[in-house]
Structure 1
Amino acid sequence: MSSTRRTAVVAGVLFLVTEVAAIGGLALYRPVLHDAAYVIGPGADTRVFLGALCEFVLALAVTGTGAVLYPVLRKRNEGAAVGYVCGRLLEAAVIVMGIIGVLSVVTLRRQAEGAAGADGASLVTAGRALVAFHDWTFLFGPNFVLGANTLVLAALMYTARLVPRYIAVLGLVGGAMICASATAVLFGIYEQVSVAGSLAALPVFAWEVTLAVRLLRKGFDEGADEGAGTFADERVGEGARVG
């Protein structure tokens, strides 16, 4: 198996991990995100911890896709490849910030259990603030930044013909739609977790799953290895001209 084929397989696995971890984290977080009185109730801390673990795996997988794909992408456009890696790092960092916000709600709830005469109204307000913090990180990380990263990667895949163009076009559509949806949520047109928000997220979900399956089954198109040689030859030629 060539290094390019191994890269494709690892990237495909990581993209599938991001989807599973993202869905699992959102489902497991449901009690803390949708129960305003979570901080003064019995809680479902174990479930929330599992959700946090899922989201941490998501952050690692997001970072991994950028690192794994960089050697292939830089042979087509080094600047865009660096931008993609940085964008994935930013996306992962925002996800981790959201994890901390949710875990802080659990800490607040546990402290309230051991505090006699705790002000329930104040605790609920603090809990809501932390959940709101998570919701904003969810909007900017796995929506705005994800959309921008998708556009960069899909554009590189399209111009370099690393995958069939219909897959790259799906990524361009998905990236644009998730950014547009995030903008609509930002201005209060509809809620992020809603029918409209879910429909807008479907194309980018389809893009990542389709790309992952393609990379696992067939890898990059044959031009991927040829592009490496072409890029290297161009760099050598530039050096010779300078010399």
Structure 2
Amino acid sequence: MDSTRRIAAVAGGFFLVTEIAAIAGVLLYRPVLDDPRYIVGSGADSRVFLGALCELVLVLAIIGSAVTLFPIIRRRNEGAAVGYVCARLLEAAVIVVGIVGILSVVTLRQDLAGAADTDTASAVTVGKSLVAMHDWTFLCGPNFILGANSALLAYVMYRSGLVPRFIAVLGLVGGPLICASAIAVMFGLYEQVSVVGSVAAIPVFAWELALAGRLITKGFQPSPVTPARLRPSQ
């Protein structure tokens, strides 16, 4: 396996891990996200910790995908390569803020457990605030910023022909669509977790899955930025 084929397989693996880790994190977080009184309840802390671990894996996979693809994208468009890495790092940083917010809810719940002088109303308010912070980071990171970096990567892939064009088109459609959806949620047109929001996320989800599958199984298509078009001395 040559170096470019290896890069493609590793990058595809990172994209696949991001999808699995993101879904697992959201599902495992459900107790704290769905119960506004979680902070004063019995809790499901182990499950939430596992969800946080999944999101940390997500963060590492996001960074890994950007770093792995950088040398390939740079051969075609250095500015886009730098922009993509920066956008992925920003997305990862925003997700980390959300993780800290959820873990803070768990810490406060454990500190308040059994305390006789607990102000329940105030504690619930604090818990809701931390969960709201997570919800906003989810909207900004894995929605708006993800949409922007997906569109950027899809543009490079489309122009360079590194992957079949129908895959790149999924990113060109899905990226702007999920960005628009995030803006609509921000202005209260519909809820973040809703049928409309879910439908808007399908193209970008399909883009990442299709890209991951292509890179893992077949790698990049021959193009001016891959070794197939370079002289042996290069």
TM-score calculated relative to the size of structure 1: 0.93
Question: 1:68 corresponds to which letter in structure 2?
Answer: T
Deviations for 1:72-110, whole angstroms, at most 9, x for unmatched residues? 000000011000001000000000100000000001101
Query: Does 1:77 pair with 2:106?
Result: no
Q: RMSD value over aligned CA atoms?
A: 1.5
Runs (5+) with no aligned partner, structure 1: 234-243
Aligned counterparts of 2:78 and 2:104: Cα–Cα separation in 1 = 39
Percent identity between the two aligned chains = 66
Q: Which amino acid aligns with 1:70?
A: F
Q: Indicate the residue corresponding to 1:137 in structure 2.
A: 137
User: Against the structure 1 CA distance between its residues 151 and 86, is the aligned structure 2 distance closer, same or farther, given a 3 Å change threshold?
Assistant: same
Letter in 1 for 2:181: S
The residue identity in structure 2 corresponding to 1:2 is D
The question of 1:187 aligning with 2:157 is answered no
Asked if 1:225 corresponds to 2:206, the answer is: no
Q: Which residue identity does 2:125 align to in structure 1?
A: T
Within 5 Å, give how 1:80-229 maps onto structure 2: 80-223=80-223, 224-226=225-227, 229=230
Aligned length: 232
Q: Relative to 1, partners in 2 of residues 1:228 and 1:32: Cα closer, same or farther, differing over 3 Å? A: farther
User: Whole-Å Cα distance in 2 between the matches of residues 227 and 146 of structure 1?
Assistant: 30
Deviation for aligned residue 1:229: 4.0
Deviations 1:155-195 (A, max 9, x none): 00000000011110111001011001001000001111111
CA distance in 1: counterparts of 2:136 and 2:229, whole angstroms: 40
What whole-Å deviation, never above 9, does each CA across 1:55-88 have from its counterpart, x for those lacking one?
0000000000000000000000001100000100
Give the distance between the partners of 1:36 and 1:204, measured in 2 at CA. 30
Cα deviation, 1:129-153, whole Å, max 9, x if unaligned, reads 0000000000000011000000100
3-state DSSP of counterpart to 2:42: coil
**Quick check: 1:46 aligned with 2:46?**
yes
